Structure 1
Amino acid sequence: MILVIISIFVVLVWAKIEGGLRYNWRWHVIPNYIFRYDESQGRWMAGTLFNGLLTTIRICIYATVFAVILGTILGVARCSQTLVTRMLARTYVEVLRNVPPVVVIFIFFFFLSEQIISALNVEGWARGIARQENNGIWLFFFGDMRQFPSLVSGVMVLALFESAFIGEIIRAGIQSIPKGQTEAAQSLGMGTLDLLRFIILPQAIHKVLPPLASQFITLIKDSTIISLISVHDLTYSTVELVVSTHAIFEAWLSTAAMYFLLCFGMSLFFRRLEKRGP
């Protein structure tokens, strides 16, 4: 039934565009921006859109790893018995959850990411690797090394932003553990770190896997914002495609399809994991 409604909606929109705007569709230009044949090298190469998709995937994976690590620290801090620790963690979480994402992205980019990249000379180091001949492993994990600083910026700002939401998920998981288990472990002489490592966190992480999976999908959609700081992700690549070809509807519909397939694929994957259980 849902597919029928979506199909009817697509047909109505299509008819409106055809009849009202008299748009000249140019779908033939899109495949070359996904994959193209390079005659000089005699092989197929990834186009602008596909490279942007790969960059989005890389950024989302790396940002998720760092966001989970920082979010776990925030979640544990939110449940700390020390008031100062709890208040600092809560302040970080509340500020990021109640400030528009675009504002947060720009603040992190200009006041943190840019400073760290400049201080560590990441750009010079990355360009040195890009000039090397045997840089296949770097290309696989990070893509074009000339764009490595922008990738680092995207990972940092996304991880810092998403960690606030993951921290609240982890906090809820920790607080869902019965206090009796904590008291029993403490009565046996177990320290705080061992209590977190062997008792609380394993159970908490298992309980919050569904919301963590949902947050990962949300992170993929939130990653479109980092195109505003010139990160060459899928959204940024689409803007470049629109500027060069003026194929507005074709470019954005293709991009929407890519994001849908990526998010829907992740949704099916996590749903399968949930059914398998522990």
Structure 2
Amino acid sequence: MKNFRATKTLYLFVIPGLVYYALFKYWPIYGSQIAFRDYSPFLGFTKSPWVGLENFERFFRSPDFFLILKNTLLINVTNLILGFPFPIILAILLNQVRNKAFKKLVQTATYAPYFISVVVLVGMMYTMLSPYSGVVNAVIRFFGGDPVHFMGKPGMYVMIYVLSGIWQTCGWSAIVYIAALASVSPDLHESAIVDGAGRLQRIWHIDLPGIMPTIITMLILTAGQLLTIGFEKSYLMQNSMNLGVSEVISTYTYKRGLVDGDFSYASAVEMMQSVVNFVILISVNKFSKRFSDTSLW
């Protein structure tokens, strides 16, 4: 209490953050009980019949279960393999640039797409990839090829989704690695140059080890979202022709929960997703702590 009285002004600054988390993070947990009930908005949380794990069993027995799980994992694993290294590479390349004007130009050009809304991004994709008036198909026709309906081809959906995401977020994601590279001691580079090390050798033996804790931390956080895909982009890119590969957990729960009104079932699916993500996060963090001494806690 003596410490509290001496620092009570600082505690006052903490109150808004505590209130925010209490109202928008912890209080909604109370509503997660509808995953275990046959929820009716007219009966409310406590009066709706308790059904236990029935909603979870319905999802696991559903013919959509494996399709949705496969689509979600395929997109996220592809994004992890292709998209995760790009910000690291971009940060290392920018760190090697000595021309400040060119460096700022590249940073601005790569940061800018992050501030484009998902709606605008998908609209741009439909316009550019249109089989009738899209610039990409115009180039294909110019060289004598036939127009391709990119947004309607199931086999192209995952790559279009992942590559457009890389283009939009790569520059912004590189910021954390640029900051980590700034903390690498210049003395190490100077010593390596004196010893005759080339640029690639210095990147491999100095820069990469210097930012490895940051890379591992970001990898752990990314792995903890392995079953999570943003709803907006998936839903906007979805159409009847690519539905077999574009239906993911977020779009599925939207249709079953808000469109069909099956709130309990949709909540159970979302809770399953959160639990699996949590287990993956804990497992990857423990694995990282054992083999690299780097972890979130």
What TM-score, normalized to structure 2?
0.64
Aligned twin of 2:173: 166
- Tell me the residue number matched to 2:295: none
Residue 213 of structure 2 aligns to a residue in which SS? helix
Counterpart of 2:231?
Answer: 224
Deviation at 1:67, TM superposition (A): 1.7
Cα distance in 2 for residues equivalent to 1:112 and 1:197: 38
- Displacement of 1:257: 1.5
Cα distance, 1:16 vs structure 2: 8.1
DSSP 3-state at the match of 2:98:
coil
Residue 258 (structure 1) aligns with: 272
Residue 78 of structure 1, CA deviation? 3.0
Residue pair 2:128, 2:136 contacting (<8 A) in 1 also: no
- In the other structure, the counterpart of 2:284 is 270
1:17 aligned to which of 41, 62, 72: 41
Partner of 1:199: 206
Whether contact under 8 Å (1:173, 1:207) holds in the other structure is yes
Give the Cα–Cα distance (whole angstroms) in 2 for the partners of residues 17 and 275 of structure 1. 45
The aligned residue for residue 44 of structure 1 is none
Give SS of 1:17's match: coil
Residues 1:92 and 1:51: Cα distance change in structure 2 (over 3 Å): farther
Higher deviation after alignment, 15-24 or 155-164 = 15-24
The question of 1:94 aligning with 2:111 is answered yes
TM-score w.r.t. structure 1 length?
A: 0.68
The change in CA–CA distance for 1:30 and 1:216 in structure 2 (over 3 A counts) is: closer
Q: Is the 8 A contact 2:257 2:265 kept in 1?
A: yes
Counterpart-to-counterpart distance in 2, 1:204 and 1:96? 25
Structure 1 partner of 2:252? 237
- CA-to-partner distance for each residue in 1:95-117, whole Å, 9 max, x for gaps? 13433344345435654799799
Summarize the alignment of residues 30-69 of structure 1 with structure 2, pairs less than 5 Å apart: 31=57, 33-36=59-62, 47-69=63-85
**1:226–1:267 CA distance, 2 compared to 1 (3 A):** same
Mapping of residues 58-207 of structure 1, within 5 Å: 58-79=74-95, 80-83=97-100, 85-108=102-125, 110-111=127-128, 147-207=154-214
Uncovered stretches (5+) of structure 1, i.e. residues with no partner: 37-46, 128-145
Q: Is the 8 A contact 2:76 2:226 kept in 1?
A: yes
Deviations 1:130-181 (A, max 9, x none): xxxxxxxxxxxxxxxx722222222222333342343122212222211111
SS at match of 1:208: helix
Tell me if structure 2 keeps the 8 A contact 1:174–1:200.
yes
Mapped partners of 2:29, 2:256: distance in 1: 27
Change in 2 beyond 3 A, CA 1:222/1:229: same
For residues 101 and 226 of structure 1, do their structure 2 counterparts lie closer, same or farther at Cα, with a shift above 3 Å needed? Answer: closer
Change (3 A) 1:11 1:67: closer
Residue of structure 2 equivalent to 1:42: none
Task: Specify the code of the residue in structure 2 equivalent to 1:204.
Answer: I
Q: Which runs of 5 or more residues in structure 2 are unaligned? A: 1-21, 239-245, 293-297
Contact 1:170 1:205 (C-alpha < 8 Å) held by counterparts: no
Q: Per the alignment, do residues 24 and 207 of structure 1 end up closer, same or farther by CA in structure 2, a change over 3 Å counting?
A: closer
Tell me, yes or no, if the aligned pair for 1:53 and 1:234 is still in contact at 8 Å. Answer: yes
Shift of 1:9: 4.8
* CA RMSD, Structure 1 to Structure 2 (Å): 4.2
The percentage of counterpart residues that share the same residue type is 14
The count of aligned residue pairs is 246
Quick one: structure 1 residues 187 and 64, their matched pair in 2 at CA, closer, same or farther if it must change by over 3 Å?
Answer: same
Q: Write the distance in 1 (CA, Å) between the matches of 2:93 and 2:198.
A: 16
Partner in structure 2 of residue 139 of structure 1? none
